[in-house]
């Protein structure tokens, strides 16, 4: 574990998309490092499973079921967060995948990806920022992607949404730091999660390969020769939430196995 069991003592971190993948792993590492954590997402069963795992590590957590596209649900979440403990950090990990070329994506699909991956994240961040600003202390980490730093084939909607989130991260960072609130992002490539495997499977389908063939190609495309784990991404998130990254502002930390070096 990267941080000690008291590294985030008395910190209250909200984690969206906490029911699986990167969000789940970030929540587990945070409670293991002493944080209070609010877990939020739409899947009650999976969130309660993560809650149980957190509690088995003696973590103090609350679960708030919320669809972040819904303004009422966002208000409910913010109210629950403030009643639990003053918020000091936010991990925006909620997101969905869409694979398709420009002539294949419907207006509904494009709007849906932008709503989940960008708009709902921006709106929730605005609300929790108001609370952090009162105390002039906090950190926000957005989970973007290498797809938010360069375009890729068959990835139009997803890339657009992640580019938007990268821009939001940089612009918001300029404003928030005036209130001693740091805003950064992590930008992983393929990650060994359910969603990451879906992305590899979609690419395999477009290129006429099996999943196994595409997975091996993805590994070979990284100088490290392997796929990033959710634990590695979560550790980077904790670093950016911590005082160890005190003068890192507006950055998108690439986690690419060396595939993108710029």
Q: Are 84 and 11 in contact (CB under 8 A)?
A: no
* Residue 75: closest CA among 25, 126, 118: 126
Structure tokens at 27: 């929540």
In sequence order, which ranges of the chain are alpha helices (DSSP H)?
21-32, 44-56, 71-84, 107-114, 120-135, 156-176, 194-207, 211-220, 230-241
Q: Are 74 and 66 in contact (CB under 8 A)?
A: yes
Q: How far is CA 38 from CA 23, 89, 102, 123, 182, in A?
A: 11, 10, 37, 17, 19
* Residue 31: closest CA among 64, 7, 65, 67: 7
Block residue for tokens 């079921």? 65
Element (H, E) at 89: strand 89-92
Question: Among the options 36, 118, 129, 158, which is catalytic?
Answer: 158
Burial of 106 (0-12, 13-18, 19+ CB in 10 A): exposed
Q: Is 129 part of the annotated catalytic residue set?
A: no
Q: Active-site residue numbers? A: 158
């Amino acid at each position: 574990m990267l941080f000690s069991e008291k590294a985030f003592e008395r910190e209250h971190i909200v984690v969206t998309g906490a029911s699986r993948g990167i969000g789940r792993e970030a929540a587990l590492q945070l409670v293991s490092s002493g944080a209070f954590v609010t877990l939020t997402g739409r899947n009650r069963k999976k969130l309660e499973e993560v809650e149980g795992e957190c509690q088995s590590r003696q973590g103090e957590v609350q679960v708030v079921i919320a669809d972040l596209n819904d303004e009422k649900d966002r208000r409910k979440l913010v109210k629950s967060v403030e009643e639990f403990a003053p918020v000091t950090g936010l991990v925006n990990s909620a997101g969905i995948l869409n694979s398709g070329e420009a002539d294949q994506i419907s207006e509904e699909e494009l709007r849906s990806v932008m709503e989940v991956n960008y708009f709902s994240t921006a709106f929730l961040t605005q609300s929790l920022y108001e609370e952090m600003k009162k105390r002039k202390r906090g950190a926000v980490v957005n989970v973007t992607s290498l797809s938010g730093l360069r375009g890729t084939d068959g990835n139009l909607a997803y890339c657009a949404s992640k580019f938007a989130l990268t821009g939001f991260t940089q612009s918001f960072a300029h404003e928030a730091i005036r209130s001693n609130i740091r805003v950064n992002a992590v930008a992983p490539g393929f990650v060994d999660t359910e969603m990451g495997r879906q992305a590899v499977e979609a690419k395999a389908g477009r290129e006429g390969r099996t999943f196994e063939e595409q997975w091996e190609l993805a590994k070979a495309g990284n100088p490290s020769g392997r796929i990033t784990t959710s634990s590695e991404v979560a550790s980077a998130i904790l670093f950016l939430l911590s005082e160890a990254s005190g003068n890192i502002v507006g950055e998108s930390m690439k986690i690419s196995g060396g595939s993108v070096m710029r």
